[in-house]
Structure 1
Amino acid sequence: MRSMLAAAGFAMLAAQAAVAQTPLRTAVDGTFAPHAMPKLSGGIEGFNVDLAEALGKKLGRPVTVDTAQFSGLIPALQAGTYDFLVAPVTVNKERAENLLFTEGYLNSDFQFVTKKGAPLITKLEDLRGKVVAVNKGSSYDSWAREMADKIGWKVESYGTQTDAVQAVLANRAFANVAGSTVLQWAAKNNPQIQLSLLHSTGFVWAIALRKDAVALRKDLDQAIECLKADGTIAALHEKWFGVKPAAGAVSVTVDTGYGVPGMPNYDPTPHAAACRG
């Protein structure tokens, strides 16, 4: 009898070890710098690539990161191709009704850049009568146009984000508005531009999972909490964006539940993260 129990115990341990070594599958848009972008030596690098590696270490499991167009990532997740999405996914009500999300790891805010030495923008109204450059078709394009009558700025759209920044450098626009992390990275690498007003949207980026992945959501949520607590996410923020997270930013603030507060499928159950590695 004892031998049978021992054999069953060994089999269970072997099965658990096999699961621990099974890679978790995830993906990013490999053209979204500085979150994921090609390396000159081959492969990809970026904030979210490093985040995937750090999550794997906390979970004690390997993580494989594929690249694909962003438009195909959520359908591929729902089809079972991926276990979760480490690509930046903005959490909104519609998405949260159809997916599970971990707590946020970055604020999804807007930021303005201007030419080096220009007066700093302290409020949106400072841009009254000025030209704001945007990437055509982006969420920043539609937002800036929606605000045009209220603020009194003129919006000029450009084919790429690079072209929008170039418009500022060429004095065709006073400022460019885009995602905060994208512009923080741009300012870090281009001394001719400077960061200006940060505009909060109230949204965050979080890891997306299928609605049936409740256990994995809990594991990933706790791993993110551990990476916040030990300073890993803050260090990646400074490495890739060139600035430290602001006090109270979601990248350094641990939530007591699972998911994004105020969104569908948020689980408010308090817990203590079991951190490893």
Structure 2
Amino acid sequence: MKRLALVGVILSLVLSMAGCGGGQPAAPQSGQSSATQSSPQSQPAAQAPSAPQPSAGAAPQAPEGGHIAAIKKAGKLVIGTSADYPPFESLDQNNNIVGFDIDLAREIAKELGVELEVLNITFDGLIPALLAKKFDFMIAGLTITEERKKSVDFSKPYMSGGNAIVVHKDTQGISKLDDLKGKTIAVQLGSAQDQIASKVEGAQVKRYPLYTDAAMAVATKQVDSMILHSVVAKAFVAQDPRLKMVAELDPVDTGIAFRPDSDDLREFVDQVLDKMKQDGRMDALVKKWFK
């Protein structure tokens, strides 16, 4: 689900959203959540030993009753993700789920005064699992689209940036989306990039459960290209010298997905996102993960 070059380019994309306030960046929390490899069955992460305390400052007000009341009664916020999308979320060398989204969810849990539990599920199973009430919200570098809005509600965007095309380092002649006509394009199953690739004339779309599998297919020349978020593309390129990024596409917004019956939780999370932009915590997370 992160090791990036071009710090200035990435921060200019992200800090335009994250830097709404004038506060100094707060030190990000570095706790990690344990998980097994991503699979269609959810895998719970290890929980912190005690419920964290909200950060200093004017705390968002959680309404009485509803979804939030159930979370507080359980003593934990359960989130769903797909840990194959660095630097948003991925598995580290110790099989812990780490990333920007995980730290962001941890801050939300702290504001609620509860522990954080992470379920690792293949990406195409996340929205069905959310609607089946397997967890409280979905955070997985998820692009906000009109199609997805038909089944889930979204938070305010917490990040903006373009998609990108990645090819093998030896590939020539691809510098824009139209150049993929008649080519093979790797995407993650069920992703917004799948929809983009499907509209390319004559292209053969190869769908993979994990983006790590898609990246390996490009690196080994099994496919001509892949389309994914530019931030994630830079992470894969930094990790694998066989890959290169050749084009950035139109910007997209990234948000947190909620069930339609979770208005109180969604509104509370929007308040937390605003607070984090104002007090510097969002800037701190950006600097931690997008470097």
TM-score when scaled to structure 2? 0.58
1:166 maps to 219
- Structure 2 CA distance for partners of 1:241 and 1:193, relative to 1, 3 Å: farther
1:183 and 2:221 equivalent?
no
SS at match of 2:80: strand
Does the aligned pair in 1 maintain the 2:86–2:99 contact within 8 Å?
A: yes
Does the aligned pair in 2 maintain the 1:77–1:85 contact within 8 Å?
A: yes
- Structure 2 CA distance for partners of 1:238 and 1:161, relative to 1, 3 Å: farther
1:134 and 2:190 equivalent?
no
The higher-RCO structure (CA 8 Å, 6+ apart) is: 2
Shift of 1:142: 5.7
Deviations 1:111-138, CA, capped at 9 Å, x for gaps: 023566988976546x488956534867
Q: Which of 54, 67, 77 lines up with 1:24 in the alignment?
A: 77
1:269 maps to none
1:71 maps to 124
- Structure 2 CA distance for partners of 1:40 and 1:133, relative to 1, 3 Å: same
1:213 and 2:262 equivalent?
yes
Shift of 1:106: 2.7
For 1:80 and 1:230, how far apart are their aligned partners in 2? Answer: 32
Query: Any unmatched runs of 5+ in structure 2?
Result: 1-63
For 1:93 and 1:130, how far apart are their aligned partners in 2? Answer: 27
Cα RMSD, aligned residues only: 3.9
Query: Any unmatched runs of 5+ in structure 1?
Result: 1-11, 243-277
- Structure 2 CA distance for partners of 1:226 and 1:37, relative to 1, 3 Å: same
* Bigger share in helix: 1
Deviations 1:162-218, CA, capped at 9 Å, x for gaps: 2343156x9x84x54333232121122234544332101x54221112222222111
Shift of 1:99: 2.6
- Structure 2 CA distance for partners of 1:226 and 1:188, relative to 1, 3 Å: farther
Does the aligned pair in 2 maintain the 1:102–1:207 contact within 8 Å?
A: yes
For 2:181 and 2:128, how far apart are their aligned partners in 1? Answer: 42
Deviations 1:212-242, CA, capped at 9 Å, x for gaps: 2222111101111223334444444454444
